[in-house]
Amino acid sequence: MASQSQTPKCFPGPAAGYTQSFWRTQPDPLDSYQSTPELPTETDILIIGGGYVGASAAYHLLSDQKEPAPRVVLVEARELCSGATGRNGGHLRPDIYSATATYTERYGLEAAAEIVRFEVAHMKEIEDLVRKENIACELTFTRSLDMYLDEDQLKKAKIFYDSLISQGLDFMDDVKYLSESEAQKEAYVRDAKGGFSFPTGHLWPYKLITGLIRIAVANGLNLQTNTPVSEISQSQNPDGSWSVSTNRGTIHARKIILATNAFTSALAPEYSKAIVPCKGVCTQIVAAPNAPHQELPGTYAIRLGPGAYIYQISRQDGSLIVGGASHTFKHDLSEWYNNPDDGTLVRNMEHYFDGYMQRTFFGWEDSGAEVKHIWSGVMGYSADSLPHVGNVPGKTGQFIAAGFNGHGMPVAYLSGKAVANMARDSVSFRETGLPRLFETSLERLKPVYNDILE
Ligand SMILES: Cc1cc2nc3c(=O)[nH]c(=O)nc-3n(C[C@H](O)[C@H](O)[C@H](O)COP(=O)(O)OP(=O)(O)OC[C@H]3O[C@@H](n4cnc5c(N)ncnc54)[C@H](O)[C@@H]3O)c2cc1C
């Protein structure tokens, strides 16, 4: 088991210490890198946050050789990719029919379908990116097996699935329904009542992000890890720049990209109701050497009942990354809600995943599978379940891409690209081609939904 950091909580920004995730066990030379010994005093574009969004923004700002290239600085409070991206489940899984039901009910099918197509598009985008840039991040394509253990929940999902199929929607072409016997025989899930399967991917997120940042640094990015921002000035300077205070001095930036996800409201308090830091737990599980166990045909979402689910991928080395199960601690708000501390696990979660493979899958009874690493991570949950992307309301020159919930992998890459285009080329939100519902706005800062607690 990984050792747990004893560093105390540091509310409300990122904690100074953290539980160690499996993904961060092979640190990259850029992990604690500072391009220059001093923090520059000014820049054209300042990216705050070195996770998936920050890396995508930096890569896109500097990769197309447009002249003149802007001066770009990226500040990261801790090590590179030490936030949610460095501690997630590694699942690049578009949500095709599940959240779509809620979005359709609230905003109509056309707006909901934009999100599905955007998520599905990430699969090809990431495939092309990884191939073009030759980034070794174990990108793997397989099928996601969405398995339901609760009959009523499955029935409801099937009704929505049937309605999407009957409308002939393009993204439903390869979404298959599995009956109870298929779910048990082909997906090997004990107690499954049925489910769905569709194309998905998984990868090593830390390696993707360090790969992108390496290219950006080669193209001129000034990377400054271990540089927490404590404040952004309330108003612009006479030259239009914003003053940004860090532990290593002040930097004046003409444009700012907030890639701060869960920690956004520490710097932009107007987001405190819209994006809330919420803690989750993830593990790496490994079977005993030479112990018999069933090879699994894909990744999983094991739906135990409404609001209760576990996600899982099988890695190329045979180990599994398994996380979720927040239903077991949801009642204990202080453990997870508005809690930005990834320095500790969630109470009583230390042993939840012990024996998980044995009790969930046929063919794993004698596997001796054990938790090898367990860690926590902080997600930016948004009140309406949608990310916030675009111009920060009322703050000219500040842009945001944050609030990706537990679901950033098929969403954040193109969101980072979009804010890079907005900051560098002054394109409008509409011109970015992002789903319309992602646009941040004053209205969304006073949320009408409270999806996090309801
Ligand atoms: C346990 C867990 C499991 C998950 N599993 C999945 C999954 O399987 N699939 C999926 O799609 N999504 C998953 N997610 C969600 C996904 O990881 C996130 O949505 C995504 O990584 C968000 O990327 P980001 O760049 O916005 O945020 P982050 O990776 O959190 O990056 C934000 C960065 O900003 C830095 N920062 C914040 N404030 C400051 C400041 N004041 N000064 C300087 N730097 C600052 C932070 O230190 C951090 O590094 C999971 C998340 C967690 C925590």
Is 358 found in the same domain as 285? yes
Q: What six digits make up the tokens of 36?
A: 């220059």
Which of 7, 47, 263, 278 for mutating ligand 1's site (highest number of atoms within 8 Å of CB)?
Answer: 263
Please check whether residue 161 is in contact with residue 196, taking contact to mean a CB–CB distance below 8 angstroms: yes
> Is the residue at 315 inside a domain?
yes
Q: Ligand 1: which atom is nearest the Cα of residue 281?
A: 1
Q: How many A from CA of 178 to the centre of ligand 1? A: 33
Is there an atom of ligand 1 within 6 Å of 407 CB?
yes
Is there an atom of ligand 1 within 6 Å of 360 CB?
no
Is there an atom of ligand 1 within 6 Å of 409 CB?
yes
Q: How many domains does the chain have?
A: 2
Distance CA 93, CA 299 (A): 9
- Residue 285's Cβ-count burial label (10 Å; 0-12, 13-18, 19+) is buried
Provide the H-helix boundaries in 2-66. 52-63
The whole-number pLDDT of residue 6 equals 30
Is 287 found in the same domain as 263? no
> pLDDT grade, residue 400 (50/70/90)?
very high
Q: How many A from CA of 62 to the centre of ligand 1? A: 22
Is there an atom of ligand 1 within 6 Å of 76 CB?
yes
Is there an atom of ligand 1 within 6 Å of 94 CB?
no
Q: Ligand 1: which atom is nearest the Cα of residue 378?
A: 53
Is 416 found in the same domain as 359? no
> Is the residue at 166 inside a domain?
yes
> Is the residue at 452 inside a domain?
no
Q: Which residues pair with 276 in a beta bridge?
A: 381
> Is the residue at 116 inside a domain?
no
> Percent of the chain beyond pLDDT 90?
91
Note the pLDDT tens digit of each residue in 113-136: 999 999 999 999 999 999 999 999
Provide the H-helix boundaries in 30-137. 52-63, 98-107, 109-133
For residue 209, CA distances in Å to 72, 144, 331, 372 come to 17, 23, 34, 24
Note the pLDDT tens digit of each residue in 268-309: 999 999 999 999 999 999 999 999 999 999 999 999 999 999
Is 413 found in the same domain as 353? no
User: Which residue carries 């921002």 as its tokens?
Assistant: 229
Please check whether residue 315 is in contact with residue 138, taking contact to mean a CB–CB distance below 8 angstroms: yes
> Is the residue at 117 inside a domain?
no
Is 304 found in the same domain as 183? yes
Is 293 found in the same domain as 182? yes
Q: What six digits make up the tokens of 356?
A: 């998980």
Is there an atom of ligand 1 within 6 Å of 137 CB?
no
Distance CA 87, CA 78 (A): 14
381, 397, 418: which is the final residue of a domain? 381
User: Which residue carries 């398994």 as its tokens?
Assistant: 322
Q: How many A from CA of 226 to the centre of ligand 1? A: 16
Is 371 found in the same domain as 418? no
Is 213 found in the same domain as 154? no
> Is the residue at 11 inside a domain?
no
CATH number of the domain bearing residue 247 = 3.50.50.60
User: What is the extent of the structural domain holding 401?
Assistant: 22-88+206-275+384-445
Note the pLDDT tens digit of each residue in 308-365: 999 999 999 999 999 999 999 999 999 999 999 888 899 889 899 999 999 999 999 9
Please check whether residue 71 is in contact with residue 43, taking contact to mean a CB–CB distance below 8 angstroms: yes
State the chain's mean pLDDT as an integer: 94
Is there an atom of ligand 1 within 6 Å of 60 CB?
no
The whole-number pLDDT of residue 64 equals 76
